[in-house]
Structure 1
Amino acid sequence: MYKMNELSTEYKKKLVSADEAVKVIKSGDRVHYGLFNGLVFDLDRALAKRVGELKDVLVMTSIWSYPDPPQILVADPESKHIKYLSTQFSALDRKANKKGNCWFVPVQFRENPKYWSENVGDINVAMFQVAPMDKYGNFNFGPQVADYQGILKKAKVVIVEVNEKQPIAHGYQNTINLSQIDYVVEGTNPDLPIIKAKTPSEVDKKIGSYIVEKIKSGSTLQLGVGGLPNYIGAMIAKSDINNLSVHSEMFVDAYLNLYKEGKITSNKNIDKGKMVYTFAQGSKELYEFIDDNPILCAAPVDYVNALEVIAANDQVVSINSCLQVDLFGQVNSESAGLQHIGGTGGQLDFVMGAFKSKGGQSFLCTPSTRKKKDGSIESLIKPRLAEGSIVSVPRSATHYVVTEYGAVNLKGKSTWERSELLISIAHPDYREQLIKEAERMGIWTNTSKISY
């Protein structure tokens, strides 16, 4: 740590342009680009200029949310020089993956700090976007703490890109001191990515109604990524449910709306008075709400998503979307056959943590059907997951599965009971076909069949 009177001098010594900073990156290096709204912007553009000079560089990140793709991919579309890896996909990451220049890193989100600190090689260069330095020489990471401490333990060189628009997030382990930094870049202050929830469909509204009727006052909420969890938050805001708390990997606009309606008291067992999260994405208003707000607490993911920490709160309600469920109760939230869609994220963390909570419930939600590109309709309650499908939540962990036809609890149910329950919330047009498949699979017998 520097003395207070040395800070200005040391800051100036470490201050360089983005072009100068990325000169430290060499062929064969492993580089981290930051996370979520802390992704570097100007440094990405600077590195893109050097693509032709480099080879075998690995760039790692999570959820590229800027409107334009990483400039290193634009400069190197065939990944001849740089390979771009992500632990969670955005829409742009998915497009890059389909083109063959973005690779997915499967993770359990709660374990990420340990992955970086103990299970990968050296991180030669770590680059983060941060808020401006305070009078004590500290830079705030903004509303994304997540994996950062694990990354820093392995980083040989640390570069920060200062963005004056980065909110000051209160919480744990959410700053880095000038003494820990090798280079400071004063960036062009891009706006933080705005994430808009999709307008809910009539199916979403029906799914939401089955969940909201099971939520009690005094619950602790975890709302996952996507339009449906956000819509459920809006439904709760209009209901009689109150005295709610927040313990969630992602902080989204639904919580802001609940707070405005006076629904959030954060009167929970641990971190009383705090809305706890590990990263945030949403509207400009959400970022303004986070800025220097002491009732919010951004904390490392190995704390927020730890099963024992989640379970320490009573009546945890975890709500997440999924893509497919098979008759065994296996849940796929990551792929459509061989096409990769997204990552596990913290879904399994909160499915398991919520169930361990006293009175806890987890809900995995999907429409009963979807229209394919060729116009045909397929059931998303399937006899078996298709080839290439990823099991995001194993059958032993699945609690509630919800479609527009109902919510069913699979915990403690036998294989034939599970198939019976899941068929009951499948689209009616597919139920007889599912029964025949269940019979063929040996998990449905004549004595178990009922009429719908």
Structure 2
Amino acid sequence: MEERKTFCKMSDVASEYEKKLVTADEAVKVVRSGDRVHYGLFGGIVRDLDLALAKRTEELENVLVMDTIWNYPEPPAILQADPQAKHFKYLSTHMSGLDRKMNKQGCCWFIPVQFRENPKYMAENVGPIDVAMFQVAPMDQYGNFNFGPQLAEYWGIMKSAKKVIVEVNPCQPIIHGMQNTINISQIDLVVEGQARPLPNIVAKEATAAEKKIAEHIAERIESGSTLQLGIGGMPNYVGQKIAESDINDLSVHTEMFVDAYVHLYKAGKITGNKRTNKGKMVFTFAMGSQEVYDFLDDNPMGYVAPVDYVNAVEVIAANDKVVSINSCLQVDLFGQVNSESAGLQHIGGTGGQLDFVMGAFQSQGGKSFLCTPSTRTNRDGSVQSLIMPTLPQGSIVSAPRSATHYVVTEFGAVNLKGKSTWERAELLISIAHPRFQEDLIREAEKMGIWKNSSKVQY
């Protein structure tokens, strides 16, 4: 009898799937002028549905389309069909390089958010979301679709969504974790999309300055630490330095899962012996090479969870020796950190940087590192110090001076916690490029945060 009940249940699931299965062109007919549509997140952004919606460009007006980081080489089909944004308004809560280019062209707009708050923001402040679209893995025998290696604010979107459409991609890996599936009963329409590999984000080789920064950080990491790394050449090089060292017994609690973690695991450095989610590599989205997706596919050690859990300061801090490593764009002599803009030009969103800066510091024995090369070379060939007296007009303060812990350049790492304004100025000037140090001292004197008589030796 029990076997028969199970068989009937599976038959019901298959029948419901067939009832909801439509083509992409049929699915997008639910979108109307004035609707707010969500395309999904990261490697879960819909592609076939985007192509289908673009075909309806001339029929629609003032459709708001949201997503988080478009990581494909070509723009969304809706913007290729509507480059002047007369029919579609495209909005992003972060920004990729292509998003920034489209922003300059006037067809992409940024939504400032605190990433950790996105589920609540989507559920209570954006809404309603008329149509939510997600790319998912094929349905299992129980009627569940796995979201793949991105979850973040999906359930906040779901709470606000009037209609939910899933685009099935056989290339989506199956990821273990918390609230990482959606059932056929919670879905309005199913589209079987093409088998499309997830975006491959291959980090550039670390520069000479980034390698020095990584070395300063690696020498401050202890065995038993819990790591949070960003993407790019520098974090990957930190991973390489750890792999070459005698540091071991590491854990992972991170916003973004990247290649460096795979390499550290293969080097035998990751055990997962931490306080929360012991044995699990916790993240809210993954982006990297195909090796990352292959590693996480049906791997019980991988653990994707909503961003309001992963980035919660108290959850981060519950682990011992949390090490948070993130890049920034500029630091002023007060210790204010800009990681989002170059003056008035938007570069990227806040993400979880501030959450991990605070969570790492509150962790027993934890440290956060905000990293930047000491200089940048502008297009006209001039060289600019990225340790500045004050942040330029229009700059966004991503980490306030009260939160900043370690700041790192190729010239060293300094701990600003508990330091007075003049002590901070001295420490930051000490890791600025030598050619700019005297100028910075003069500016600090004008600002009243530099006194020669108050100098101390560190």
Same fold (TM over 0.5): yes
SS at match of 1:37: helix
Deviations 1:117-173 (A, max 9, x none): 111220000000000000000000000111001110000000000000000000000
- Counterpart pick for 1:146 among 141, 144, 152: 152
In the alignment, structure 1 residue 248 sits paired with structure 2 residue 254: yes
- Counterpart pick for 1:237 among 240, 243, 256: 243
Amino acid paired to 1:425: I
SS at match of 1:272: coil
In the alignment, structure 1 residue 76 sits paired with structure 2 residue 78: no
Deviations 1:208-258 (A, max 9, x none): 111000000000000013221122112111111000000001000100000
In the alignment, structure 1 residue 183 sits paired with structure 2 residue 189: yes
Question: More deviation in 229-238 or 389-398?
Answer: 229-238
- Rounded Cα–Cα distance in structure 1 between residues aligned with 2:236 and 2:129: 36
Counterpart for residue 262 of structure 1:
268
- Rounded Cα–Cα distance in structure 2 between residues aligned with 1:307 and 1:165: 33
In the alignment, structure 1 residue 330 sits paired with structure 2 residue 324: no
SS at match of 2:39: strand
Counterpart for residue 98 of structure 1:
104
Matches within 5 A, 1:195-214: 195-214=201-220
In the alignment, structure 1 residue 217 sits paired with structure 2 residue 223: yes
SS at match of 1:355: helix
Counterpart for residue 134 of structure 2:
128
SS at match of 1:3: helix
Counterpart for residue 425 of structure 1:
431
In the alignment, structure 1 residue 373 sits paired with structure 2 residue 379: yes
Counterpart for residue 277 of structure 1:
283
- Rounded Cα–Cα distance in structure 2 between residues aligned with 1:121 and 1:146: 17
Post-superposition offset of 1:451: 9.7
Counterpart for residue 395 of structure 1:
401
In the alignment, structure 1 residue 29 sits paired with structure 2 residue 35: yes
Question: More deviation in 310-319 or 441-450?
Answer: 441-450
Q: Is the 8 A contact 1:109 1:349 kept in 2?
A: no
- Counterpart pick for 1:440 among 430, 443, 446: 446
Counterpart for residue 156 of structure 1:
162
Q: Is the 8 A contact 1:67 1:193 kept in 2?
A: no
- Rounded Cα–Cα distance in structure 2 between residues aligned with 1:407 and 1:442: 24
- Rounded Cα–Cα distance in structure 2 between residues aligned with 1:285 and 1:200: 19
Q: Is the 8 A contact 1:199 1:227 kept in 2?
A: yes
Deviations 1:235-283 (A, max 9, x none): 1111110000000010001000000000000000111111100000111
Counterpart for residue 177 of structure 2:
171
SS at match of 2:22: coil
- Rounded Cα–Cα distance in structure 2 between residues aligned with 1:98 and 1:324: 22
Q: Is the 8 A contact 1:48 1:75 kept in 2?
A: yes
Post-superposition offset of 1:3: 3.3
- Rounded Cα–Cα distance in structure 2 between residues aligned with 1:315 and 1:449: 32
- Rounded Cα–Cα distance in structure 2 between residues aligned with 1:149 and 1:360: 30
5+ residue gaps in structure 2? Answer: 1-7
In the alignment, structure 1 residue 88 sits paired with structure 2 residue 120: no
SS at match of 2:262: helix
SS at match of 1:206: helix
Post-superposition offset of 1:450: 7.1
In the alignment, structure 1 residue 309 sits paired with structure 2 residue 315: yes
Matches within 5 A, 1:284-363: 284-363=290-369
Post-superposition offset of 1:47: 0.8
Deviations 1:2-38 (A, max 9, x none): 9322111111111111111111011111110000100
5+ residue gaps in structure 1? Answer: none
- Rounded Cα–Cα distance in structure 2 between residues aligned with 1:248 and 1:138: 26
- Rounded Cα–Cα distance in structure 2 between residues aligned with 1:450 and 1:288: 52
Counterpart for residue 5 of structure 2:
none
Amino acid paired to 1:49: K
Q: Is the 8 A contact 2:333 2:444 kept in 1?
A: yes
SS at match of 1:136: coil
Paired-residue identity, %? 73
Amino acid paired to 2:281: M
Amino acid paired to 1:56: N
Amino acid paired to 2:287: Q
SS at match of 1:164: coil
- Rounded Cα–Cα distance in structure 2 between residues aligned with 1:261 and 1:396: 37
Post-superposition offset of 1:449: 4.7
Post-superposition offset of 1:448: 3.0
- Rounded Cα–Cα distance in structure 2 between residues aligned with 1:307 and 1:56: 38
CA RMSD of aligned residues (A): 1.2
Question: More deviation in 255-264 or 77-86?
Answer: 77-86
TM-score normalised by the chain length of structure 2: 0.97
Question: More deviation in 214-223 or 278-287?
Answer: 278-287
- Rounded Cα–Cα distance in structure 2 between residues aligned with 1:236 and 1:435: 36
Counterpart for residue 119 of structure 1:
125
Q: Is the 8 A contact 1:324 1:333 kept in 2?
A: yes
- Rounded Cα–Cα distance in structure 2 between residues aligned with 1:198 and 1:258: 18
Q: Is the 8 A contact 2:207 2:233 kept in 1?
A: no
SS at match of 2:403: coil
